[in-house]
Amino acid sequence: MAKRFPVEFYAERILAHDRLGLSRAITLVESTLPSDRELAHQVMQQILPFAGNSVRIGITGVPGVGKSTFIETFGNYVTNTLGKKLAVLAIDPTSQKTGGSILGDKTRMETLAGNPMAYIRPSPAGKSLGGVTRSTRESIMLCEAAGFEVIFVETVGVGQSETAVNEMVDFFLLLMLAGAGDELQGIKKGIMEMADAVVITKADGQNLQKARVARAEFQSALHLFPRSASGWIPKVSISSALENTGIPEIWKTIEAYLETVRNGSFFEQKRQNQNLHWLHETIRQTLLDRFFAKPEVLKTLPELEQKVLHGEVSAFAAAEEILKLN
C-alpha cells in the first residue's frame, strides 16, 4: 500500500499548488480501500470550496484519429500561447483487458509531459468504469484546487465512458477523420450527438481537400440534430497537428460556447445537474454492485440467463426469481 498522510497534508499541498501533493491526492482518490475512501472524503471536503474554477473539456476519438498529437498541440497552445495551466486526465476502462493504459506509452505527448505548465495523469489500468469515472471526477476537482485552469478529460471513443465524461465536462470535443464512412464504425452510437464541436484531424497535404468536404458534410449533418438545451449549435472545424493549423480556431469555438452558456444560467445549471447526476449515479451503481456481488446471485444469474436465452422462462419471471435473493 502506498504511503498515506494526514488530511491536512493533502489539502495544504494542493492549495499550495504542489504537484507532488496533487499526485498523492489523486492516488488516494483512486483507491477503493475503505480507509482510503474515508480519508479521501475528508480531503475532498476540504478542497471543495476551491474547486470549480476551470474549463472542463472532454476530448474523444477512436484510435488512429491522432488524439495524442492533437492533445499535445492543443495543450501546448493552451499553456504557451494562452498562458493557462493545463491538466490532462485520461479515462480508459478498455485497458482492463490488456492491463495497459492509453497513456502508458511513454513516448506519448513528450513535449506536453515536459511542459511545466501541464500536468498529465492517466487512469489506472484494471479498474471498473464506475471506479474510473468517480476517481476522474474527484481528480478534476483536485486539479482545480491545485490551480489548473483548463482540464482535458480524454477517452478512446469506443466504449461507454464517453457518456460518463459528458456528465463531467463543460464542453465535449469529438475528433474525426476525413473520408466519412467506414472509420465511423468505431464510434459508438450517440457520441456524435453529444459533441459540442467536431474537429476533423490530419487536414494536411493530400488530406486537406477531403477534410474540407467532411467539414461541410458534418456541419450540415449536425444542423439536423436535436438542438442542445443551451441553444448552442455544434461547430465543425479542421486541424492539422503536423502543420499546426486550426488550433486557435478551436479555442475560439470553446470561448464562443462559454459566452453563450454563461450568458444566462445554463453553465451553472449544467454543473449543478452534473453534481446531482453523480449523486444518483453513485447510489445506483453501488446498490447494483452490492447485489450482483452476492454469492447466491453470482451462482443463480448465469443459470437464469441461459433459461431466458433458450426461451424457457420470460425475462420478467426470471428477474423476479433472482430478486428474491435481495
Q: How far is the CB of 288 from its own copies (least distance, A)?
A: 6
Q: Is 302 in the site for its own copies (CB under 8 A)?
A: no
**Is residue 278 packed enough to be buried (19+ CB in 10 Å), middle (13-18) or exposed (0-12)?**
middle
What is the 8-class DSSP label of residue 93?
Answer: T
129 is an interface residue for its own copies by CB under 8 A: no
The answer to whether the beta carbons of residues 55 and 48 sit under 8 Å apart is no
Residue 264 CA: distances (Å) to CA of 166, 230, 252, 274: 21, 9, 19, 17
Q: Which grid cell is 70? A: 492533437
Verify binding: residue 83, its own copies, rule CB under 8 A.
no
First to last CA, the chain: 34
Interface residue with its own copies among 113, 129, 184, 213 (CB under 8 A) is 184
Q: Does 315 bind its own copies (CB under 8 A)?
A: yes
- Three-state DSSP class for 207? helix
189 binds its own copies (CB under 8 A): yes
Stretch that binds its own copies, among 7-15, 144-152, 181-189, 243-251 (CB under 8 A): 181-189
Candidates 272, 299, 302, 303; binder of its own copies (CB under 8 A) is: 272
Q: Which of 22, 90, 187, 197 binds its own copies (CB under 8 A)?
A: 187
Q: Considering only CA atoms, give the Rg of the chain.
A: 21
Nearer to its own copies, 21 or 234 (CB): 234
DSSP state of 286: H
Beta carbon of residue 81, minimum distance to its own copies (angstroms, whole number): 32
Q: In whole angstroms, what is the distance from residue 229 CA to residue 250 CA?
A: 21
16 in contact with its own copies (CB under 8 A): no
The yes or no reply on residue 140 touching its own copies (CB under 8 A) is no
Q: Is 35 in the site for its own copies (CB under 8 A)?
A: no
